[in-house]
Amino acid sequence: MGYRDVYTESIQDREAFWRKQAEKLDWFQPPSEILSKDERGFYRWFRGGQLNVAHLALDAHVDGGRGDQTAIIYDSPVTATQKRFTYRELRDEVARAAGMLRGLGVDKGDRVIIYMPMIPEAIISMLACARLGAIHSVVFGGFSPNELAIRINDAQPKALLTASCGIEFERVIPYKPLVDEALRRADHSPDNTVIVQRPQAAAELQPGRDHDWNDLMAGAQAVDPVPVDATDPLYILYTSGTTGKPKGVVRDSGGYAVALNFSMETIYDLHPGEVFWTASDVGWVVGHSYIVYAPLIRGCTSVVYEGKPVRTPDAGAFWRVISEHKAKAFFTAPTAFRAVKKEDPEAKHLEKYDISCLKNVFVAGERLDPPTYEWLSSTLKRPVVDHWWQTETGWAIVANPMGIEPHPVKSGSASLPVPGYDIRVLNDNGQELPAGQQGNLAVQLPLPPGCLPTLWNDDARFKKSYLERFSGFYDTSDGGFIDEEGYVFIMGRVDDVINIAGHRLSTGEMEEVIGGHAAVAECAVVGIHDELKGELPVAFVVLKDGVDIAPEQLEKELVQAVRNEIGAIAAMRQVAVVSKLPKTRSGKILRKTIRSLSQEDPEKVPTPSTIDDPGSLDVIVEAMQERGIGQYDGNDG
């Protein structure tokens, strides 16, 4: 069947389509219903079915005679180490880690926070939770104690699993002080903390609360997979909202497993025994889906990489890993390739490696800008596949289906709707727009399997954030259009979340930090285009009357405050002091207009009809020109 046939069936006969996909997995109890609604009116997939995702990822392959195949390859240039785990070896480690957690009182339905670098124990921890039926919540190791504390309070974990340190290039970052500070700040305290002691930095353990990973594992008894309902949560993953409070995206077990297995075949063209490398982190949804669960459910070999695209040791790091481990497909964010291009524009490092094994390159996390696409395509001479998805969906919404029927690439487009996603372009009143006209991208309900059924302990926010704006649709909060041939073009967020190197962060949260400074009266943080990271936050601040502080000093203090409270990932470096901010008459700051002024000729940016003081736009333009923000460098505009 070609793409159009597969896609049409997935929309017109959803239940039959996804029943066939579900039958490809090893269920303990097949589902009695394919698609239904729960008591809250939310769509649910595969009700009545029982399975265990860790069983699908490990035991099913071992039982099927493929236990000696490599499951994961740990490649760590920052520690100069590599390690391979067969499916049997990984199953045994995961079974003991599940026994370790059970010994700490963790049971089905309990939450476990995982705060680790990219080491094998991170993957083992996730799968061990899944084996027990416990719900894991992975927090990226670069996040600050404040961010970790917020997630601890919301998830209320019974245990926290961490490591003594992470490594950024040559810099060792002790994690234990960050964890200790987070636990000091949090209202909830997990019963136990387990630390993987790394040789680069030993952590001091607090008696009674902290435990050494290796000591506990030495005495742990292996645990069999616990059957869970298809609709039971597998994990919570927090994503930034437009307020400071992150949203806990819930991922169910059955729908996720079915969707990931389907995506590996249809989007990525990967099959059992083949090598898939996703250069991301398990702290992000890409790492959950395509470092851990999808490759292992599919029976592939997954590369777990603790390094960077550059300086570990050089801009040839990607090509080395692909060549050495024979990766058939490679997946990372456009930001990573921009970093490689910046250091090695002529791709001289590529000449040292044989990457003939590589068939496809996939990018996601932010828009693939045409210059980066052209460089990649001409350098690698292979398909470069942009695809669009969100933390909320867990897998791609729009992609080029390399495993069904690859389509010609259109620069700037993520290609075609993935089977299961009925995408429409709506105006602000919810009316569908014709081809080529830009509007709000929405997905007609029900969402396919694998997407969030709700938010953790917050059904009301789930409805308000995603379902209320357009009746019968999931609101993606992204804008774009669909052309005459069905190609989808994503033009960017319509809310106040910005995308920094593929990571979504809330500008509202940054504004809260900046507004807490004694000198600041009000502020606006907007995402400004950046060649390397996609977007970078820039703060425009109005000082309190009578305040006397040098702009350079204020900038230094505010940048440090954001780093302390949110983390280095926020990457805020520029603060512009202005006399006033553009606002509506009701007092709402016109952030979208500020963004537009950074991207376009001010003469072509329309003055919003609701603006209170049109002169405030001139103030912003002058500040941009003065500071070289956006396209302005003092010579144009």
Single-letter code of the amino acid located at 574: Q
Which residue reads 């019963």 in tokens?
191
pLDDT tier at 141, thresholds 50, 70, 90: confident
- CB-based contact 470:430 (threshold 8 Å): yes
Domain limit, last residue, from 466, 495, 524: 495
Residue 635 is predicted with a pLDDT of: 38
* Whether residue 455 is found in the same domain as residue 432: yes
Q: 439 and 535 share a domain? A: no
Residue 470 lies in a domain: yes
Domain that holds residue 482: 413-495
In 290-380 the beta strands, taken as DSSP E runs, fall at 301-305, 329-332, 360-363
pLDDT at 203 over 70: yes
In this structure, are 455 and 509 located in the same domain? no
91-118 pLDDT tens trace: 999 999 999 999 999 999 999 999 999 9
Residue 588, pLDDT score = 66
Sign of the torsion angle spanned by Cα atoms 467, 262, 498, 76? positive
User: Is there a contact between 228 and 27 (Cβ–Cβ < 8 Å)?
Assistant: no
Residue 427 shares a structural domain with residue 513? no
Q: Closest Cα partner for 137 from 40, 150, 146, 342?
A: 150
Q: Residue 537 pLDDT more than 60?
A: yes
Give the per-residue pLDDT at 444. 98
In a domain, 20, yes or no: no
Report the range of poorest mean pLDDT among 41-45, 123-127, 530-534.
530-534
Domain assignment present for residue 523? The answer is yes
Domain CATH code at residue 533? 3.30.300.30
Residue 221 is predicted with a pLDDT of 97
Assigned domain for 552 exists: yes
Residue 390 belongs to a domain: no
| 459/558 same-domain check | no
Residues 485 and 564 in one domain: no
Question: Which of 447, 474, 495 corresponds to the end of one domain?
Answer: 495
Token representation of residue 84: 């391979």
**The domain that contains 477 carries what CATH number?**
2.30.38.10
Identify the pLDDT of residue 634.
39
In the predicted model, is pLDDT for residue 497 greater than 80?
A: no
pLDDT of residue 632: 42
CA-CA-CA-CA torsion sign (224, 75, 266, 37): positive
Average pLDDT of the residues in 208-232: 97
Whether residue 510 sits in one domain with residue 458: no
- The answer on 501 and 436 residing in a single domain is no
Cβ contacts of 437 within 8 Å, gap of 6 or more: 425, 481
Q: What is the pTM of this model?
A: 0.86
Instruction: Dig out the tokens for 565 from the structure.
Output: 């409270």
Do 528 and 616 share a structural domain?
yes
Residue 518 placed within a domain: yes
For residues 480 and 371, what is the distance between their CA atoms, to the nearest angstrom?
20
Quick one: pLDDT at residue 237?
97
Cis peptide bond upstream of 453, omega within 30: no
Report the sign of the C-alpha dihedral through residues 161, 163, 164, 168, in that order.
Answer: negative
Does residue 495 surpass a pLDDT of 70?
A: no
Domain contains 622: yes
Q: Judge if 509 and 611 occupy the same domain.
A: yes
- Please give the single-letter amino acid code of residue 602: P
* Banded model confidence at residue 245, pLDDT cuts 50, 70, 90: confident
**What pLDDT is attached to residue 609?**
55
Residue 623 lies in a domain: yes
**CA angle (197 as vertex; 184, 123 as ends), nearest 5:** 90
Q: Are 220 and 134 in contact (CB under 8 A)?
A: no
Top-confidence residue, 99 or 375: 99
588 and 617 in a common domain: yes
User: For residue 584, what pLDDT is reported?
Assistant: 62
Task: Tell me what the mean pLDDT of segment 429-442 comes to.
Answer: 94
DSSP 8-state class, residue 210: E
Give percent above pLDDT 70 in the chain: 96
Same domain, 583 and 503: yes
3-state secondary structure of 533: coil
Residue whose token pair is 């435990």? 211
For residue 212, give every residue at least 6 positions away whose Cβ sits within 8 Å of its Cβ, in sequence order, or none. Answer: 194, 195, 197, 205
Asked whether the CA dihedral 622, 624, 628, 630 is positive or negative, the reply is: negative
Say how far apart CA 325 and CA 304 lie, in whole Å: 11
Most confident segment among 249-263, 330-344, 369-383: 249-263
**Spatial distance between the Cα atoms of 519 and 556, rounded to a whole number of angstroms:** 13
Give the residue-averaged pLDDT of 448-454. Answer: 98
Final residue in a domain of this structure, among 432, 463, 495: 495
Residue 134, sorted as left (phi over 0), alpha (psi -120 to 50) or beta, turns out to be beta
Per-position DSSP letters for 254-297, written without gaps between them: HHHHHHHHHHHHHTS---TT-EEEE-S-TTSHHHIIIIIIHHHH
Cβ atoms of 417 and 425 within 8 Å: the answer is no
pLDDT of residue 585: 55
- Give the tens place of pLDDT for each residue, 558-567: 999 999 988 8
DSSP per position, 45-72: ESTT-EE-HHIIIIIHHIIIIITTSEEE
Strand 159-163 to 111-115 pairing: parallel
> Could you give the number of structural domains in the chain?
2
- pLDDT at position 148 over 60: yes
Confidence of residue 412 (pLDDT cuts 50, 70, 90): confident
Using CA atoms of 264, 270, 274, 279 in order, give the dihedral in degrees to the nearest 10: -60
Of 437-451, 470-484, 508-522, where does mean pLDDT reach its minimum? 508-522
